[in-house]
């Protein structure tokens, strides 16, 4: 389950942004059950991946990312 605001709608599905090696990596995902604040990810990311949850509209693929706060 991830926060619903982390999901990015696309023409052919959805994606999320992961933090890997200091960069923003866009990954396509498959979704399942959606609640009010969380949505189930059935494929595309792994447990332990670092998900970007804020400022996602500012990021482009491979942009450098500085982590300020981890929740």
Per the DSSP assignment, residues forming a β-bridge with 14 are 9, 29
- Range(s) of the domain holding residue 8: 1-71
The total of structural domains in the chain comes to: 1
- The enclosing domain of 70 has a CATH number of 2.40.420.20
Q: What is the CA radius of gyration of the chain?
A: 12
pLDDT in tens, 35-53: 999 999 999 999 999 999 9
pTM of the model: 0.89
Whole-number pLDDT of residue 68: 82
- Of the two residues 71 and 10, the one the predictor is more confident about is 10
What does the alpha-carbon distance between residue 24 and residue 17 come to, in Å, rounded to a whole number? 6
């Amino acid at each position: 389950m991830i926060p619903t605001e982390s999901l990015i709608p696309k023409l052919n599905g959805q994606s999320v942004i992961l933090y890997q090696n200091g960069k923003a990596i866009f990954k396509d995902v498959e979704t399942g059950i959606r609640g009010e604040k969380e949505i189930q990810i059935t494929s595309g990311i792994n447990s332990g991946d670092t998900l970007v949850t804020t400022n996602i509209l500012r990021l482009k693929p491979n942009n450098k990312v500085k982590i300020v706060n981890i929740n």
